[in-house]
Structure 1
Amino acid sequence: MTYFCFIESSILSVPHMEPLTAEDPDSAATEAGELLAQHASGYAVHVFLGDQKIVTLRREPEGAAIIRGQSTPTPSRSASSVSQGTTT
């Protein structure tokens, strides 16, 4: 099954959808974070596998880092630019 991400933007009223090439939840989160970094107006990205939300990543207001909020349990990763949180 294909992972999809929806990128929320401050300039568009409808999220932009992208299929991901990832084959596991952590790779999907990494790929989605990279896509979010490429969209200057993007402020959040939501990753889905079918109808199940896997993770939400949000850009901090100053744009320096990405905050990770999980909706389903996955192994945690430690990285200076990623922190654990909850999905809103």
Structure 2
Amino acid sequence: MSLTLYIQPGAKKSGIVGLHGEALKIRLAAPPVEGKANQALIQFLSSILDIPKQSVELVTGETNRNKRVVIHTLTTPDIAARLLACVDQ
């Protein structure tokens, strides 16, 4: 499944904020330098989805806040349920 994301790097803490237009907005505590935010994004998604990091693939947006990732090991309903459970209140 493909996810469209809007990333806010350099936040106080990492978390899912909600929607940003058509994209899911995620805050990352990692700075946007030398790929650290991309690595943190993959680690964050693998952690909250409880899947290996190798199952999360950054497809587009390596140097942009707008990103697209592909999740290889879960079904769409499983991904949606796990992401909704982690949205910051």
For the aligned pair, the TM-score class normalised by the smaller chain equals 0.3 to 0.5
How does the TM-score come out when normalised to structure 2? 0.35
How does the TM-score come out when normalised to structure 1? 0.35
